[in-house]
Amino acid sequence: MLEPALTWAGLLLGLAGLALQFTLSVSDMLANGRDLPGALGVLFAYYTILTNIVLVLIYLSEVTSARWLDLFRAPLVRGAMAANIALVGLYVYFVLRYLSDLHGFWFMADAILHYAAPLLYLVWWVATQRHGVLRWANLPLMLLPTLIYFFYAMARGAWLQEYPYPILNAVELGYGPVAVNALYMTVFLAALSLAVIAADKFLARYSRTIAQ
C-alpha cells in the first residue's frame, strides 16, 4: 500500500504545485504586459518548473501503462531526477530564498515545488524503486539533461536578454563568471549524482540482507 500511496501523493502534489505556480505567474505576467506565449516561455525557462514536470511524468508512468511514458520508467532517469531535484531544493534553500520575500499563495507554490515535492520524490525513490541498477559509468548521462538545459537557457538569454537565475545572467555578470558558476553547479550536481548511485548500491545490498 505504501508505493501507490506515495505515487499518488507525489502526482497530486506536483500537479497542484505546478498549477498554482502557472496560475500565479501567468496572471502576473499578463497583467504586466506580456502575452501568453511570452509568459509560458518565461516559465519553461526555469529549471524548477522543468524538473517538477518530469517528476509528474514519472509518477504518471507508474499509474498508467501508456507507451509514450516508457522513458520515465527507466531507473537511470528516475535516479538522475533524484539528484536533479535535490539540487533544486538545496540551491533554493541556500541561495535563492534570500532574494525574495514570498507570502500567501506565492509562498505555497514555492514551498511545494522547491521543498515538498523534492523531499517526497526522494522518499518515493528510496522506498519504492528497485535498486542496484545504477552504475558509476552512468554519471555522464545523469549530467547530460542539465547540460542541455544550460545551453538552452543561455541561448534563450542571449536572444531575449533575460535569464531565469542570477548565476546565469550574462548581461550583468559576463560569460566568464557565468561559465565558472556553471562549473560549480556541475560539480555539485555530479556529487549529488554520485551520492544517488552510492545510495542505490547500498539500498540494493540492504534489501538483499533483509531478504535473507
pLDDT in tens, 15-74: 999 999 999 999 999 999 999 999 999 999 999 999 999 999 999 999 999 999 999 999
- Backbone φ and ψ for 28, nearest 5 degrees, come out as -65, -45
* Those residues with Cβ within 8 angstroms of residue 116's Cβ, 6 or more apart along the chain or in another chain: 13, 17
pLDDT at residue 210, rounded to an integer: 58
Which cell is 146 given? 542539465
Rounded to whole angstroms, how far apart are CA atoms 49 and 58?
14
pLDDT at residue 211, rounded to an integer: 53
Rounded to whole angstroms, how far apart are CA atoms 159 and 46?
16
Grid cell 554520485 in the structure block, residue: 194
pLDDT at residue 147, rounded to an integer: 95
Q: By the 8 A CB rule, do 141 and 80 touch? A: yes
DSSP 66: -
**CA 58 from centre of chain:** 12
Q: By the 8 A CB rule, do 207 and 131 touch? A: yes
What is the pTM (predicted TM-score) of this model? 0.94
Instruction: Tell me which residues of the chain have a pLDDT lower than 70.
Output: 1, 208-212
DSSP 44: T
A 10 A CB-CB count for 81 gives 24
pLDDT at residue 137, rounded to an integer: 97
Q: By the 8 A CB rule, do 198 and 206 touch? A: no
Rounded to whole angstroms, how far apart are CA atoms 87 and 40?
23
pLDDT at residue 19, rounded to an integer: 98
Kindly give the residue spans of alpha helices, DSSP state H, lying in the chain.
Answer: 2-31, 36-43, 47-63, 75-94, 104-111, 117-128, 139-160, 170-173, 175-211
DSSP 132: S
